[in-house]
Amino acid sequence: MGRTQKFSDDLLLDAVIQYADIEKNKIKASKLAKWARINIAGLEEVQDYHFTRPSKNPVTGKLEKKLCTLRLEEINSIRDTRQLENRNVLTSNLNVDSFFVMDDREQRKEIMEMREIFFQYRRDNKRLRQRECDSRALVSNMTEKVEAYRASFEKLKKQVVLLEKQVTYIKRVTEEDRIRAYMDRIGISSGDFGDQKYRDAIRENISDLENIDAEIKKYQRLFNNIYDDESDKGTGDGASRESSEEESVINIDDDLTDF
């Protein structure tokens, strides 16, 4: 960690005094340090805090303001417009006759202070007017942006409403197409009822129910044929075989009709 550069109080005080002769307004430490780094030998690395930071008294050990800091505050206090108004006879005294009883030197001093007050107010007024213009331009720019955003928002709202209508229409058309296809399949389309096509569709659905009896008989014949083949290979008289066939047919009928 680098060691903080130290400068003598006399050198810092001399910089404040010399800069005060150049700068007639209130002195800012940042501008003072920038000027001192260029114009004062030995202060090439000085920073603004070197003029304002308190230093430790070697005797008491307490932090105290440096001479340059005290001089800087004194100059700024003198140059404070409010302080000048309170001290100046022409601005603070209601009776101007007190000004005329002064000698020429004091009158000149009061006039110079009055001029300084006037110039300071004129500079402040110019700065405030510029800020007012900048503020108005900023407000105008922001107003235009707000109006543009509002117009974009209204346009977006209309687009959203249009999209919702389009989606609703697509859903309705899709559902209608599906229903129309189903109705056309069963013989109903465009308000016309196809009686023959509707009957054919119903007949297709119940055709399996109409053929149940035929399927049962087909299954019985198939089973009897299988049983006859097995009986020929075995032993036994004809009467027992016929009895067995009748029992088998009865059992088959029972199984098929047990529902």
At 63, which helix (H) or strand (E)?
A: strand 63-64
Which tokens is 42 given? Answer: 């030995």
Which tokens is 132 given? Answer: 């007012």
Helix, coil or strand: residue 179: helix
Interatomic CA distance for residues 147 and 142, integer angstroms: 9
Q: Which pLDDT does position 188 carry in this prediction?
A: 60
Instruction: Quick: pLDDT tens for 23-43.
Output: 877 889 999 999 999 999 889
Does residue 10 surpass a pLDDT of 70?
yes
Q: What's 2's DSSP letter? A: P
Percent of the chain with pLDDT over 90: 14
What are the helix and strand counts (H, E) for the chain? 11, 4
Which residues, in sequence order, are bridge partners of residue 221? Answer: none
**pLDDT: is 13 or 253 the higher one?**
13
CB atoms within 10 A of CB 259: 4
Instruction: Quick: pLDDT tens for 51-63.
Output: 999 888 888 888 8
Radius of gyration of the chain (CA): 57
For 117-154, letters b (16+ CB in 10 Å) and e give beebeeeeeeeeeeeeeeeeeeeeeeeeeeeeeeeeee
Return the residue matching tokens 């229903």.
Answer: 179
pTM over 0.75: no
User: Lowest-confidence range among 38-42, 64-68, 176-180?
Assistant: 176-180
Q: Count of residues for the chain?
A: 259
